Structure 1
Amino acid sequence: MFFTKTIHLSKENSKKNKIALLFDESTSSPCLYPLLFSIAVLSDKSLATQQSDMLALKYWYEFWYQKYSTTFCESFLSTKYDPNIYIKEIDNFMFFLENEKKLENNLVRLRLNSNVDYRTITKRMRSLLKYFKYLLDVYWDIRYQEIPKKDLESQRKRIDIYLNSKKRIFNKFSARSTTVKNEIKHDFKSLNNDMYKCLYEIIKPNNKDYKNINNPFTDKNTQLRNFLIVHLMINYGLRVGELMLLTTQSFKKSINSNIYNIIVTNTDDEYDHRSRKPNIKNEQSYRVIQLRDQDFKLINMYIDEIREDTGTEILFTSLKPPYSALSYSAINLIFSKIDIKFKELHPKYFDPKLFGTIEKITPHVCRHTWAYISLSYAIKKYQSEANLKRFSKISDAMTIAQEDLRVLGGWSVNSVMPSHYAKRFIVDNANLINLERISAQNLEF
């Protein structure tokens, strides 16, 4: 699929006349961005360093092709050099290396594997971060992006900080063992209740009686569209790809009842010209989710009064000609602007010195938040009903709540995600009970 090769630039027998490149087997040509990276960054490095960095990129390109059935170069170009497409895959690539270059459908935890040299993984990850830093510096620039220079610089700074933090984490691989020090965190990045309320204070749209000066979007129609995007993800657990698949026909009232539903399914819209088209993740992701009637009315108001007749049924589109369906990068940009405003208003929620903070507001944070809040609510509800003898055992409440979460979230039958959220609930609840026990003892000192 991909291979590395050392090219002799001249007949002179000198290390400076050799360059390591990454080639695509299907075209027998060098991969574009690794070629530019090699010329700009690696050409004055030792041949051994060049070969090591190109080998890391080879594994990255193999990982990307296995996951997306296209080359990373094509994806990077088609998203207009959006850094978010590689940022979100850093940890997944690390798991890919750990699992002997095989993709896993379920969540994988970094663990001790006697067949893996974790110091080599660290080396590969550092090479990859060097490549990402080059892509960020060169292409996340006013020459290629149609967003204000101030926003570009702010986002570049944020991503730089993130990449540097990842680099520090990978440097914590012990040279004497194959373990990772505890700087690698695997806690779920979800919003607590206070953060949740603050988010809604930011995204709340203007109306005739209320003007939200903290909303980062000035246009009223854009505010409502973006409010619905965040609201559907954080309250109904939609993945970003599922949100992008919604059409004007995805919302149905049940026959003979006042129950409203979201139909989550693939769509074949001939006018969907997005280069990276969204798709349903697995068979269990095809699902019907009941919708609050107020939300059903709000969506219909958006469709009837705000969304233009664009010739496509895709629900969320640009509100300006040519009314293109929103892409991954467009939705990430919406969340990026919300993130900047959130950090401006509530910096303590992002302070790494404090426990329970988050790195940024993203679509995935919305799904994590929905999952944990939903599971916590269901467990407490079912435990209460267990006390009323609906279930034979209180432990049944946990099992039923996890199954509810799996179905609503569209996880596969074998997915471990619901059990991970349940484990977090148990830990949080145990801590709360322990503190209540200490307080009840009325200890005096």
Structure 2
Amino acid sequence: MNEIDNFIVFLENNKKLEVNLIRLRSNIDVNYMTITQRLRSLFKYFIYLLDEYWNVRYQDITIKELTNRRKKIDLFLLNKKRNFSKFSKRSITVKSEINHSFKSLTNEMAVMLYKIIRPDQGTNINPDNPFSTKSHQLRNFLIVHLMMNYGLRVGELMLLTKRSIKKSLNSDSYSLIITNTDDEHDSRQRKPSIQNEQSYRVIKLDSMDYKFLRLYIEKIRNFNDSDILFTSLRPPYSPLSYSSINAIFNMIEQAFRTLHPIYFDDINIDSIQKLTPHVCRHTWAYMTLAFAVKKYRNDSKYTLNQSNDEIMQKALEDLRVLGGWSANSIMPNYYAKRFIVDSANFINLQRISQELWE
């Protein structure tokens, strides 16, 4: 695996083979977009070799040991992809805009999005829904809803099985289990996997969401032996891939953009460029953090004994646990920064308004 690091250094140093090469990170003589493309091609070929030859037919080890090793390799590759993705033009663009564009939906946008993805119910037809059948509408509604309201990553959503939804024996309590899945019917070439130890988690489900998921499982998702929750609804009923889910989001975005073009107009500070699974997770994270901070500030047992910083840290820890971020991830702090900036601007505008009219 160290050869991948060496190859990155080799590319960054203008394809030199000398000893004591250094990682430049900002070599003005190197096209980092080209480096990224070459690394992606290398990883695709590497994954092909793994899929083709990393099996019991060619390896003299047990299936369990083989699976465990493959998971470690997949996690290693995922981390490397994150590293070299920072070289890309797209990543640089996002970073340059991060201070004034937060890539999440406003409350108004979220309400309008739900109006579009609401499934038909009896004679109550939703003309804005871009999907033609009730089965597709319910499945795709659940996909977006789980990301928007529970902060699931797209890979975690793809790992859900029919057994991921659990009910408590002793109470009306419902849970969503986020874990890896070893489904023998999973034919996806690019198999999803859990990102880190903290991503294994149990998320409490709203009772109505549990009913929607059970309805989907019992009435729609009941046609083959696969345990994967979200699959194609046509033969051979393959599990949804990354590209399939992106295609679903593209159709929703087209309808969203047609009905509400202002949400995508970059003349507005809170516009979005695209509607993606990651935008849904961003939206969930910011709204969840804002709700948690407000809740703790309004709870006397916290405001009497804890400072604002301590309240923020508690809200951040809630967000970290629910979102499955590792202890050293900076993402929860990123959402905290946005919340603090928004709160500070709100207070400043209130001050200006009061001073002008006194």
> Shorter chain as normaliser: what TM range?
0.7 to 0.9
Secondary structure (helix, strand or coil) at the match of 2:248 reads helix
The structural deviation recorded for 1:384 is 1.2
Q: Note if contact 2:156-2:178 (Cα within 8 Å) is conserved in structure 1.
A: yes
C-alpha distance 398-184 of structure 1, shift in aligned 2 (>3 A): closer
Q: TM-score, normalised by structure 1?
A: 0.63
In 1, distance between residues paired with 2:84 and 2:30? 28
Aligned pair partner of 1:392 in 306, 313, 329: 306
Aligned pair partner of 1:247 in 147, 155, 161: 161
- Does 1:71 pair with 2:60? no
Return the index of the structure with the highest Cα Rg: 1
Q: Note if contact 2:296-2:303 (Cα within 8 Å) is conserved in structure 1.
A: no
In 1, distance between residues paired with 2:345 and 2:264? 23
- Does 1:321 pair with 2:298? no
Secondary structure (helix, strand or coil) at the match of 1:227 reads helix
Q: Note if contact 2:177-2:201 (Cα within 8 Å) is conserved in structure 1.
A: yes
Partner of 2:265: 351
Partner of 2:38: 61
In 2, distance between residues paired with 1:284 and 1:106? 20
The structural deviation recorded for 1:385 is 1.4
C-alpha distance 421-197 of structure 1, shift in aligned 2 (>3 A): same
Q: Note if contact 2:179-2:201 (Cα within 8 Å) is conserved in structure 1.
A: yes
Q: Larger relative contact order (C-alpha < 8 A, sep ≥ 6)?
A: 2
Q: Note if contact 1:224-1:302 (Cα within 8 Å) is conserved in structure 2.
A: yes
Q: Note if contact 2:130-2:252 (Cα within 8 Å) is conserved in structure 1.
A: yes
Higher helix proportion? 2
In 2, distance between residues paired with 1:394 and 1:348? 36
- Does 1:269 pair with 2:243? no
Q: Note if contact 1:391-1:397 (Cα within 8 Å) is conserved in structure 2.
A: no
Q: Note if contact 1:387-1:394 (Cα within 8 Å) is conserved in structure 2.
A: no
Q: Note if contact 1:336-1:361 (Cα within 8 Å) is conserved in structure 2.
A: yes
Secondary structure (helix, strand or coil) at the match of 1:62 reads helix
- Does 1:234 pair with 2:155? no
Secondary structure (helix, strand or coil) at the match of 1:288 reads strand
Mapping 1:305-320, distance limit 5 Å: 305-320=219-234
Partner of 2:172: 258
Secondary structure (helix, strand or coil) at the match of 2:224 reads coil
In 2, distance between residues paired with 1:184 and 1:261? 34
- Does 1:217 pair with 2:131? yes
Matched AA of 1:197:
V
In 1, distance between residues paired with 2:84 and 2:307? 29
Number of residues of Structure 1 aligned to a counterpart in Structure 2:
306
In 1, distance between residues paired with 2:279 and 2:199? 19
Deviations 1:387-420 (A, max 9, x none): 7656332322101000000000000011111111
Q: Note if contact 1:251-1:261 (Cα within 8 Å) is conserved in structure 2.
A: yes
CA RMSD of aligned residues (A): 3.2
Matched AA of 1:319:
L
Partner of 1:429: 343
In 1, distance between residues paired with 2:33 and 2:105? 35
In 1, distance between residues paired with 2:270 and 2:242? 28
C-alpha distance 304-393 of structure 1, shift in aligned 2 (>3 A): same
Q: Note if contact 1:261-1:289 (Cα within 8 Å) is conserved in structure 2.
A: yes
The structural deviation recorded for 1:326 is 0.4
In 2, distance between residues paired with 1:425 and 1:386? 21
- Does 1:342 pair with 2:256? yes
The structural deviation recorded for 1:438 is 1.4
